[in-house]
Amino acid sequence: MTSRRNFLFNGAGAGAAMVGASLVSKAAAAAIPEAPVQNSSGTAPPLVPPNGRPYNPVVTLNGWTLPWRMKDGVKEFHLVAEPVVREIAPGMKANLWGYNGQSPGPTIEVVEGDRVRIFVTNKLPEATSIHWHGQFLPNGMDGVAGLNQPAIAPGKTFVYEFVARYAGTFMYHPHADEMAQIGMGMMGSWVTHPKDPRQHAVDRDFVFLLNAYDIEPGSYTPNVNEMLDFNIWTINSRAFPGTDPMVVRKDDRVRIRMGNLSMTNHPFHIHGHRFEITGTDGGWIPPAARWPEVTVDIGVGQMRAIEFIADSPGDWAFHCHKSHHTMNAMGHQVPNLIGVDHSGVARKINDLVPGYMVMGDKGGSMGSMRMPLPENTLPMMDGKGPFGEIEMGGMFTMIKVREGLARGDFRDPGWYRQPPGTVAREWTGPAPEAVRAPGAVTSPGEPVARVKKGHGH
């Protein structure tokens, strides 16, 4: 992270970062606090609070927490709404709008009962505002442009002030030209920690937002007039393999807080564990009202906090269960050709177009295909694993559970090594012939599916 005056702490790594007291005091005399900028799309280490009441900080996946200035007992933050360039995954960058150098903007972390003052500077070409989703605050601080306040014109700075009354997981986003501004990536997470750090305590606490973009392969700027047909599905504006894993120590109690600011729901699914939903953007769920789950559907505009004991070592998938949401661009608008033998056609086309490939006749598997891509897009399914291609993209990441990690060590430990004899393997003994259901399509024949026009997701 770099401030506009260039102080640094950067990138994913071990341990926790601190805002140096001397750095903060330099700016203390100024009327408006510094607006730090993040240059990296990696996961920043948790920001240990340098002042104010203590709390257990969160880790923002592929994001960071905004440092504040304490002034006369008020926590002062400075958000700058501005155009940013966000790396979606290696090989693809997007021209987005965000806050303080990234989209999403930084996470804001405060403590229940804190008085908070947030300066918002608009460096966009159009007016904006910020709505503090889930907060209980004076009506004039709620951020709906035209309803609660005048919009913040380009070049202007507004100030919001309220008390963070209840602990929980919230978010912030514009309430002005929302379809364009949220569609361009303007959003951020907000965590209000409990007054007593022992309350709702966990060992590792992650937060991120779910969002989606429509970026034509070969272009850099989202089409913000799209209503449903998005092609880049992201966790905090990162698509797999660009998403960082969540690294946890065996037997840690883990919380993952997820908010949805895309235009459709996302059923998020954990592997190898079960969790309970412990909180929403309305607050904490009483323990007696929780039940075990392995998938949680996160509706549009909702936040869900889940908790589990990471008792099983390994690299566990954690992803949206909508198959098209774990694919990147290039995987859409493709006809289903399963069961259609078009190798004869391919041979004929090969006479005209050397190198033409048959696609999809044995299923959609394309992980191993290396087609030339247009500039600035992502293969539909990508990512290399220890056993080959991981045919995933989009809203996919991993929970890496390891024994013996140090507290606060979030570094990627590499691939899990399964104990000998515990990996699925090829059967090499005698096997009966596979039985096929009568009438199943087994050989070249009629196409069994058609391409729909106006296909949505």
Residues that bind Cu ion (CB under 5 A): 266, 320, 322, 325
Nearer to Cu ion, 100 or 211 (CB): 211
Residue 395 C-beta: closest distance to Cu ion, Å: 5
Residue 393 C-beta: closest distance to Cu ion, Å: 12
How far apart CA 434 and CA 443 sit, in angstroms, is 15
How far apart CA 269 and CA 260 sit, in angstroms, is 15
Residue 320 C-beta: closest distance to Cu ion, Å: 3
Residue 400 C-beta: closest distance to Cu ion, Å: 22
- 3-state SS, one letter per residue, for 90-157: CCEEEEEEEECCECCCCEEEEECCCEEEEEEEECCCCCECCEEECCCCCHHHCCCECCCECCECCCCE
Any bridge partners for residue 148, and if so which?
Answer: none
Nearer to Cu ion, 106 or 394 (CB): 394
3-state secondary structure of 11: coil
Give the ranges where 302-392 is alpha helix by DSSP (H): 343-352
Strand 246-249 and strand 396-402: the pairing is parallel
Nearer to Cu ion, 83 or 301 (CB): 301
Nearer to Cu ion, 141 or 239 (CB): 239
Residue 295 C-beta: closest distance to Cu ion, Å: 11
Nearer to Cu ion, 247 or 296 (CB): 296
Nearer to Cu ion, 69 or 319 (CB): 319
Residue 260 C-beta: closest distance to Cu ion, Å: 9
75, two tokens: 């926590």
Nearer to Cu ion, 330 or 395 (CB): 395
Residue 187 C-beta: closest distance to Cu ion, Å: 16
Residue 294 C-beta: closest distance to Cu ion, Å: 16
- Please name the residue that has the structure tokens 């050709």: 337
Nearer to Cu ion, 119 or 208 (CB): 208
How far apart CA 242 and CA 92 sit, in angstroms, is 10
Report DSSP state, residue 347. Answer: H
Q: Which of 234, 193, 197 lies closest to 213 in space, CA to CA?
A: 234
Residue 379 C-beta: closest distance to Cu ion, Å: 19
How far apart CA 359 and CA 357 sit, in angstroms, is 6
Nearer to Cu ion, 66 or 327 (CB): 327
Nearer to Cu ion, 64 or 240 (CB): 240
Residue 159 C-beta: closest distance to Cu ion, Å: 36
For 179, phi and psi rounded to 5 degrees?
-60, -40
How far apart CA 179 and CA 177 sit, in angstroms, is 6
State the sign of the Cα–Cα–Cα–Cα dihedral 155, 121, 12, 94: negative
144 CB-near residues (< 8 Å, 6+ apart): 129, 131, 175
Contact 31, 61 (CB under 8 A): no
214-226 per-residue burial string, b: 16 or more CB within 10 A, e: under 16: bbebeeeebebeb
